[in-house]
Amino acid sequence: MTDLIPPYGGSLKDLRLDAESARAAKDAAVDYPSWDLTGRQLCDLELLANGGFSPLEGFMGQADYERVVTDMRLADGTLWPMPVTLDVSETFAGEIASGDRVALRDPEGVILAILTVSDIWRPDRGVEAERVFGTTDPGHPAVTWLREQSHPVYVGGRIEALDLPVHYDFTHLRLTPAELRERFRRNGWRRVVAFQTRNPMHRAHVELTFLAARQAEANLLIHPVVGMTKPGDVDHYSRVRCYEHVLQKYPEQTTALSLLPLAMRMGGPREAVWHAIIRRNYGCTHLIVGRDHAGPGKDSRGEEIYGPYDAQDLVTRHADELGIEMVPFRMMVYVQERAGYAPIDEVDEASETVMNISGTEFRRRMREGLEIPDWFGYPEVVQELRKTYPPRARQGFTLFFTGLSGSGKSTIANAVMVKLMERGGRPVTLLDGDVVRKHLSSELGFSKEHRDLNIRRIGFVAAEITRNGGVAICAPIAPYAATRGAVREMAEGANGGFIEIHVATPLEECERRDRKGLYAKARAGLIKGFTGIDDPYEAPKAPELRIDTTDCTVEEAAQKVLLKLESLGFIDLR
């Protein structure tokens, strides 16, 4: 009997220390400088430690990083498409040097690994975006992450892992590469086709995977990503419950479900190659590569970032080095006359009726509480998703007013709050800028850093209100587009709505009102960094609503907001 496919590079690089060595390393680390890992870094560390990123033995040094960016290879020539780097702040980078040992900790301060520093450098993140993702457009989530969230300095070095990050959810499904390989070996699975997914599975996906496994004469591994995915994706808790329902649709002993703690970059072709390497390390011999595999969709101009089959082409080009076979995605459609699914290239559209529901249409139906036909989705899966994503009329949402001081945003926000409370149905909380400054951010000044932090605090509270079905009304100045974008992600990540309202009253009118005398003090130089005078206000490019209060009463402005909420489905004015 043939053995399992060998890991990429020949051996599984499990970087975990044995129990005795881990205890000694933990004791020694008391005096080491510490770095608290971000969510993305936690995912990367876990896959480094358990061998999922074999043959890597730590976060990339500068030589590996630069060749991966330019040539898609490690410094020794090994094919590797995606940078795996540890980004840190300038302050922290200034406190360490090559040869130092650094304690890597989770957000609660638990030490997970020791990094022996080999390299410290400042990367060109614009070049990284262009070469790795093929674009510098902010519509690509990884580009936005590089620009706005990553730290400016990279640190490379070997890893000694004391333990893996702790997970309390779905522990029976969180198998390491070694554990999954042992399961395959025990069950006699030698040919395994992996299905990569970050979305709920519907009937078409099941039919597709059936077909792929049959063609490959292999068992099937449903291997969804449960680390970081694209902002706005269905949370992994809801998805895994859906996968468990779907698993019952396959014949017993043919299909397995396991979770992958990967932080996706949505890197399209390069990411598809990366997924192939990772799945080989987990013991898979085949990988289904879909149409626009791991693509983020459209850029900020509405154009597709990657071609539909770019990922398949790149995986095919490197098939020999990867050593894992690609099963190309064949789009499955429901054929009315057959009362079943078939590959679209096997359908005669002249004589047969093709039925399909796009992802956009599916989300619209879910949002509006409309029926999802049984031929598209399994009822138990749809029911599971409705628990997390009720129709908009029952969702929480954040109303985010932004505009210059004196624009009228706080006045409108108060009026809208009263009207929503008058209607009832949801708890309503007003997070006014001045009130938040007094009770939540009293220690903050008015530097750009502190203003950002204040808005992010508002966003965090608003997201928690939204998550619990309430209405959060925010009315800060919020002058910076990137920070407002981060607040939108928080609210939408809480399974709720986010409605940005730009109170676009011109500066001259705001200055004419100047009830607090702030503009006069700023013009006189008594207040520095005042928005609209010596600090810019970045007006929203595409808010859900724009209101100029120059010739608009408070009642009229509030009614515009309510009508917008009705048009979006959050309230019913009838």
Taking Cα atoms as reference points, which of 171, 179, 192 lies closest to residue 50? 179
φ/ψ bin of 51: left (φ > 0), alpha (ψ from -120 to 50), beta (otherwise) = left
Contacts 24+ apart (CB under 8 A), 176-179: 176/14, 176/50, 176/51, 176/52, 177/7, 177/12, 177/50, 177/51, 177/52, 177/54, 177/281, 177/282, 177/283, 178/12, 178/14, 178/50, 178/51
Q: Is 291 a catalytic residue?
A: no
From 78, 116, 199, 388, active-site residue: 199
**CA atoms of 487 and 485, how far apart (whole Å):** 5
User: How does DSSP classify residue 408?
Assistant: S
Both tokens of 420, joined, read 């929503």
User: How does DSSP classify residue 76?
Assistant: T
Q: Is 198 a catalytic residue?
A: yes
Both tokens of 139, joined, read 């519509």
**CA atoms of 226 and 250, how far apart (whole Å):** 22
From 16, 67, 181, 198, active-site residue: 198
Q: Cβ contacts of residue 568 below 8 Å, gap of 6+?
A: 392, 497, 499, 544
Amino acid at 556: E
**CA atoms of 182 and 282, how far apart (whole Å):** 10
**CA atoms of 194 and 184, how far apart (whole Å):** 13
Q: Which residue has the tokens 């459209």?
A: 298
User: How does DSSP classify residue 72?
Assistant: S
Burial 293-303 (b: 16+ CB within 10 A, else e): bbbbeebeeee
From 38, 50, 197, 398, active-site residue: 197
Angle at 23 between CA 18 and CA 25, to 5 degrees: 90
**CA atoms of 487 and 32, how far apart (whole Å):** 35
Do 415 and 459 touch, CB atoms closer than 8 A? no
Let me know if 102 is exposed, middle or buried by CB neighbors in 10 A (0-12, 13-18, 19+).
buried
**CA atoms of 560 and 546, how far apart (whole Å):** 9
Taking Cα atoms as reference points, which of 427, 429, 441, 411 lies closest to residue 503? 411
**CA atoms of 409 and 417, how far apart (whole Å):** 12
User: How does DSSP classify residue 443?
Assistant: T
**CA atoms of 561 and 539, how far apart (whole Å):** 18
Q: What is the dihedral of CA 94, 156, 18, 42, to 10 degrees?
A: 80
3-class secondary structure, 168? coil
Q: Is 270 a catalytic residue?
A: no
Could you tell me the strand order of the sheet in which 545-547 lies? 428-432, 471-475, 397-402, 497-503, 545-547
Q: β-strands 286-289, 153-161: how paired?
A: unpaired
- Residues with active-site annotation: 197-199
